[in-house]
Amino acid sequence: MSVAQSVAKREHSDDLQHSNKRQQTGITAAELEGGLPVVAHLVSLIPGKECTYSIGDKELTTVGRSRSCDITLNEPDISTVHCELHLITMEVDGCRRKLINVIDKSRNGTYINGSRVVKKDSILKNGDRLVFGKSFSFLFKYNTTSDLEGAGESAASATGGNLAVIQSPNANKNDEEVFKKPLFSFTSSQNALKKQARQKPASVFDKYVLGKELGAGHYAIVKDGTNKQTGQAVAIKIFHPQQNDDQKKSKQFREETNILMRIHHPNIVNLLDSYVEPISKSQIQKYLVLEKIVDGELFDRIVKKTSLRQDETKAIFTQILTGLKYLHNQNIIHRDIKPENILLNITRRTSPEQVQLGPWDEGEIDIQVKIADFGLAKFTGEMQFTNTLCGTPSYVAPEVLTKTGYTSKVDMWSAGVILYVCLCGFPPFSEQLGPPSLKEQILQAKFAFYTPYWDNIDDSILHLISHLLVLDAEKRYSVDEVFDHPWLSGGAAQNNVIKDMNRLQLSDTQMPKTYTELSCL
């Protein structure tokens, strides 16, 4: 047997005991077997057949019925050569990682976590359940020291460059210009970060258990997650697979998520962690671990209620503004404010004595509003982002559509659209209201308040919306100007200062449909 072959040896219970004894001396089993380091282990999950196979640091490890295979599984449903385990080295997220790539060669199939390996290649991750044929079931685990190289370097580079999320006054469509100069000082924490990166599990699956789907968007699905150590419930955003061909982008993702993890505000969904995982030789998948928000989207609340009362809208809008003010003060532009990205945590009444803390519905004590997806739109790539927006741009400011350079005022436009939608249940710009087209309506800031929807709504709100849906971003209200507006700052008397806003009569055939009506179609 060659040195290489001897590495992927079966360690029976007896051998294991022996090897454990040897490991106590600080020497790994693989070093003793053939001088090659162990890269990973396959732990048998078959009751009564407990054993561990070590996969060594060599290009190919074969699994099959043949005695010439590195791992021999002598069962009728196992093919002569059932599958190949290829050792590959991939540069992922600034780290060179040694990974095991499975190529199925069998008749009865190789399965990873219940899915048959059909692709040309599939990279294994810690905790994967690997099944050969009908019943040969194993738990896969990387040897902790072997799969990650250079994590410390990554952290160092993540703290060294242009880290913070400052939007320059002239920020424009170019990605790099949205994320500019450092706002936070990292120097004191550089060593801590390096240490953290070194200690950080290489895979999201090492730290979290993934559960059911919570929601889906254009770029990602979001799943329930649980921190294995603390039991903390989280939401895990899983971006669609991407080609692993742009190391600069991966580095940018890491640097920017490092910054966004330092953003903490009660009205912003907390970013807790981020991971980049290889899934095949050429593809990676990015993961964001987020604070979990349990009561769904503002969008669903609007659909359920057709429209929101003025006092309820004010309470929700104030929280959105508070979150935006914090982001804008940190020089972060959200760029994708819409009711689907406004999430709600509702405190429900549990006893009759509880005092309601806002203008909420019967049975609701309080609602905490959380802005999701902040600063993240750019991770999807500028082109993809704006192209997707062109499909559904109801909330997008004109300068985003024309890509003529934008500032935090783009969020104020979107806030104006949200305010409008909350109160009447349909957006101010839509194909339904055309002609002109939706895009033209936005580019001309052409909107109106339609009767009867807006008849009983205070003129001061119409006035505020009219100062948010303004074509010229410089004249559009900023967060502070909105807080100073009579509808938010003053009482009823001040509201009366603003009078006689126009409502427009439309024929029945032109009348826009509410989200509630559209959702019933």
Ligand X SMILES: Nc1ncnc2c1ncn2[C@@H]1O[C@H](COP(=O)(O)OP(=O)(O)OP(=O)(O)O)[C@@H](O)[C@H]1O
Let me know: does 513 contact 426? Beta carbons within 8 Å. yes
Contact between 515 and ligand X per CB under 6 A: no
Active site residues: 336
Three-point CA angle 288, 159, 161, nearest 5°:
105
Name the segment binding ligand X (CB under 6 A); options: 219-227, 407-415, 433-441, 482-490.
219-227
Burial class (CB in 10 A: 0-12, 13-18, 19+), 518: middle
Q: Which of 112, 269, 302, 333 binds ligand X (CB under 6 A)?
A: 269
Contact between 290 and ligand X per CB under 6 A: yes
Of the pair 8, 344, the CB lying nearest ligand X is at 344
User: Strand locations in 292-383, DSSP E?
Assistant: 342-348, 364-371
Locate 513 and state its tokens. 């449909």
CA dist., res. 511 & res. 521, Å (int): 16
DSSP code at position 224? E
- Strand 122-123 vs strand 129-132: parallel, antiparallel, or unpaired? unpaired
Q: Which of 70, 84, 128, 297 binds ligand X (CB under 6 A)?
A: 297
Element (H, E) at 52: strand 51-56
Contact between 253 and ligand X per CB under 6 A: no
Contact between 293 and ligand X per CB under 6 A: yes
Q: Which of 218, 264, 304, 403 binds ligand X (CB under 6 A)?
A: 218
Contact between 327 and ligand X per CB under 6 A: no
CA dist., res. 138 & res. 61, Å (int): 15
CA dist., res. 204 & res. 491, Å (int): 50
Of the pair 237, 325, the CB lying nearest ligand X is at 237
Q: How many CB atoms lie within 10 A of CB 51?
A: 16
Name the segment binding ligand X (CB under 6 A); options: 187-195, 245-253, 292-300, 412-420.
292-300
The residues in 368-397 that bind ligand X, with binding defined as CB under 6 A, are 372-373
Name the segment binding ligand X (CB under 6 A); options: 53-61, 336-344, 424-432, 455-463.
336-344
Locate 236 and state its tokens. 């895990």
Name the segment binding ligand X (CB under 6 A); options: 26-34, 138-146, 208-216, 494-502.
208-216
Q: Which of 222, 445, 465, 498 binds ligand X (CB under 6 A)?
A: 222
Q: What's the closest the beta carbon of residue 175 comes to ligand X, in angstroms?
A: 16
Three-state SS at 258: helix
Q: Which residue is nearest to ligand X (CB)?
A: 217
The residues in 227-246 that bind ligand X, with binding defined as CB under 6 A, are 235, 237
Of the pair 293, 422, the CB lying nearest ligand X is at 293
What separation in angstroms does the CA of 23 have from each of 28, 237, 371? Answer: 5, 38, 50
403 is in an annotated binding site: no
Of the pair 136, 219, the CB lying nearest ligand X is at 219
Of the pair 98, 286, the CB lying nearest ligand X is at 286
Contact between 325 and ligand X per CB under 6 A: no
Locate 377 and state its tokens. 């739109």
Q: How many CB atoms lie within 10 A of CB 309?
A: 14
CA dist., res. 135 & res. 132, Å (int): 7
Total interface residues for ligand X by CB under 6 A: 22
Q: What's the closest the beta carbon of residue 225 comes to ligand X, in angstroms?
A: 10
Q: What's the closest the beta carbon of residue 6 comes to ligand X, in angstroms?
A: 48
Q: What's the closest the beta carbon of residue 294 comes to ligand X, in angstroms?
A: 7
Contact between 341 and ligand X per CB under 6 A: yes
Q: What's the closest the beta carbon of residue 257 comes to ligand X, in angstroms?
A: 14
**Smallest Cα–Cα separation from 69: which of 106, 101, 18, 43?**
106
Q: What's the closest the beta carbon of residue 326 comes to ligand X, in angstroms?
A: 17
Q: What is the 3-state secondary structure (H, E, C) of 426-492?
A: CCCCCHHHCCCCHHHHHHCCCCCCEECCCCCCCHHHHHHHHCCCCCCCCCCCCHHHHHHCHHHHCCH
Q: Which of 142, 219, 426, 447 binds ligand X (CB under 6 A)?
A: 219
Which parts are annotated binding residues for ATP? 237
Which parts are annotated binding residues? 237
Residues engaged in binding ligand X (CB under 6 A): 214-220, 222, 235, 237, 269, 290-293, 297, 336, 340-341, 343, 372-373
